[in-house]
Amino acid sequence: MRMSLAALSAYPFPAAAFTLLNGRTVDPTTDSPNPGDCTPYQCGADPANQGARMWCTWNSQAGSRVCSDPVCQPYLDDIPTCSLPQVVGTVPSIPTLTPANIVQPLPDISETLMPLPYVPDCSLWAQLNRLIADNPLIAVIVLAGVAVAVWRRK
């Protein structure tokens, strides 16, 4: 199904007339924005006027500006979310960095590196484990003996 170019270029938003912040009444299906018509909406003024926002978007005049932008200064009273901070006083000074306040002393790690005293475990299990660890061939022989015993039972 192919759409005609006229159907694609029809104004897609509600076509009711609305009034811009500057007092101009607009019919969105026939009027085009003049320079500056959409600037208040880019700054965030008159946020309830969705018709004007959609009209500006349709006519490629959408965008956003911060309320401190010089272009937005005439509309500051109409921007509900803009609160510019009042700078009073002086900026505090930043401390000067020196090697004394940058370089931190190294921690003492000598105690953590000291070897623990060896406490021998004289239990039979510990002696057996030590014997197998020292002579891995014993483990192989025991494993082979268990495998032969299981193999013969089948």
This prediction's pTM = 0.47
pLDDT tens digits, one per residue of 52-66: 888 888 888 878 888
- Residue count of the chain, please give it: 154
pLDDT (tens, 9 = 90+) of the chain, 154 residues, equals 444 334 446 777 777 888 888 888 888 888 888 878 888 888 888 888 888 888 888 888 878 888 788 888 888 888 877 776 655 667 677 777 787 777 777 777 777 777 777 777 778 888 888 888 999 999 999 999 999 999 987 6
Q: How far apart are CA 113 and CA 47, in angstroms?
A: 67
**Cα 64 to Cα 39: distance, rounded to the nearest angstrom:** 9
What SS3 state is found at 98? coil
- How far is the C-alpha of 33 from the C-alpha of 37, rounded, in Å? 6
DSSP state of 6: H
User: Which of 43, 54, 44 minimizes the C-alpha distance to 15?
Assistant: 54
Q: Which residues pair with 26 in a beta bridge?
A: 18
- pLDDT recorded at residue 140: 93
Rounded distance between C-alpha atoms, residue 146 and residue 125, angstroms = 19
Q: Are residues 46 and 21 in contact, defined by beta-carbon separation less than 8 angstroms? A: yes
Residue 7, exposed/middle/buried by CB under 10 A (0-12, 13-18, 19+)? exposed
Q: Which pair of structure tokens corresponds to residue 142?
A: 């025991």
